[in-house]
Structure 1
Amino acid sequence: MQYENFVDVVLPEEVWQSVMDMTWECASGLFLEPMSERHPLFDWQRAILEEEYNNYMIYTVPQLITDVGRFSTGVVLARDPVRECAAGFILYSRDLRSDDIVGIIGTAVRKEYRLQGVMTEMIKELRKSVRDIGLSCSLGLVHVYHGLGFEVRGEQGAQVRMGWGGPGGEMARFREASFDNVDTVQAALARLRDKLGESYGRVFSDRIGEIEAETLKVKNYIQQWQADPSLLP
């Protein structure tokens, strides 16, 4: 397997497409709140995710944004040279003031390459150039990142904040609902509305309840972890 970190360069088109292909394939594990592919809102949420990741990858060449500062991201890509395809990626944002402090936006490994050390090696590749990595993940993945050397730091809604190295930094992030009005997202929402009919409002209400329940689980876990830092889910 080959590993490469793309930063401070225009992302090659084939790398960009590989990340988007894997985002499509692995979307259920990339949402901020857990969601199965069978969930009624899955296609709409995936449309939002695709727009978000597409936009993040514009900034592998840093740019100054009014009222934000320097927006800078990077991509670690794992390639299988035998099959000539991408196996996994890490998409990350860099601190507004320091290149060696980063926050992971999303990371995925294709199903056929899982449990083969790909994630471990991508994290190693990222660590070559940074001293501080932050991320947030669902409760079910805390033990995975702990095994990769990350420590629990606290809660972030329905996710657990984790970190490796220093205390973290301030990453440039898109505001919530930044992509809700994009054409592809609106089209996915229209299809969803037609498909759900009268149950449309109830499905969204149920989703809010699911997120609130997951948030409470995370809050309870963090409280237990603070009492006993050796605790892992």
Structure 2
Amino acid sequence: MAQQLFSITYSLTQRDIDQAVRLSKLYYTDLIQKLVKPYGPTSSLCSSQVEIEVRAYLEEALTGFHGLCVEALVAKEVSTNDVVGFAIALSAPGSTDCGLNYAAVRKDFRRQGVLRVMLESIKSKYSFIGLSCHPDKVPYYEALGFRADGTVFVQVSMSWGEDKPHPMMNTFDMGRSDELQMCTQSFLKLHGAKAEAIMQNLGDVQIKRMEDVKAYYQRRNDGLSHEHAMAYLR
């Protein structure tokens, strides 16, 4: 039996957080709840949004400063101790439910069971896990026991575990983030008079994508395969 090349831990260090945030920057188009182009005019603003939010939750998992129910675990390469994956789960006090806010795996460690091991660890602590992901990621979560049960903005909502009423989970109000406001001001300064049109176009893209994702989910719900349902999104 091959030796496992990674281990997982809930004991974060600042180095772990920095490396996980770098992963979030690399894969921000997968993580953000918008449809964005990797090198489009809003790419810097969107990647900053993901980085700032991921760092905020990882820091909260480390310090507990704000009293939120945040758990974070990282997968680390055995030979280098570098972070190759991370997952962030939010819950409510005394609840056995959680929401998977973010999860990412370094590209060269994919298809090695990293996400599966991280999620199995989270499953051992909770009776319900909810998440949302872009349609192209749905089969990966289905293979891990999750079911598609609706849509949220431009993503498909999925869940694992008991189907029951779920408590509200406390989250950060990122709209009040000084860092994010500074990034927004930099974006406005960079693009000047074009900024409003760029943001309007981004909004139009999201509205179109929301309808497409609803259609994807409906087709899956009607029995079509992922591949056939995705054909309408391309």
Superposed CA offset, 1:92-130 (max 9, x none): 1124431x3211001111122223322222222222322
Aligned to 1:227: 222
For the aligned residues, what is the CA RMSD? 2.5
Equivalent residue letter for 1:226: N
CA 1:76–1:64: 2 relative to 1, 3 Å: closer
Any unmatched runs of 5+ in structure 2?
230-234
Superposed CA offset, 1:51-71 (max 9, x none): 222222344379697xxxx73
Superposed CA offset, 1:59-88 (max 9, x none): 4379697xxxx7301112111011221100
- TM-score of the superposed pair, with normalisation by structure 1: 0.83
Q: Percent identity?
A: 20
Higher mean C-alpha displacement, 136-145 vs 45-54: 45-54
Aligned to 2:174: 179
CA 1:42–1:25: 2 relative to 1, 3 Å: same
Match of 1:121 among 117, 121, 128: 117
Deviation of 1:19 after TM superposition, in Å, equals 2.1
Any idea what SS the aligned residue of 2:174 has?
coil
Equivalent residue letter for 1:80: E
Aligned pairs for 1:90-129 (under 5 A) are: 90-98=87-95, 100-129=96-125
Matched residues, number = 222
Q: Tell me, yes or no, if the aligned pair for 2:100 and 2:129 is still in contact at 8 Å.
A: yes
Higher mean C-alpha displacement, 186-195 vs 213-222: 186-195
Aligned to 1:204: 199
CA 1:180–1:231: 2 relative to 1, 3 Å: same
Equivalent residue letter for 2:17: W
Aligned to 2:232: none
Aligned to 1:21: 22
Q: Tell me, yes or no, if the aligned pair for 1:62 and 1:73 is still in contact at 8 Å.
A: no
- TM-score of the superposed pair, with normalisation by structure 2: 0.83
Equivalent residue letter for 1:162: M
Any unmatched runs of 5+ in structure 1?
none
CA 1:51–1:101: 2 relative to 1, 3 Å: same
Equivalent residue letter for 2:8: E
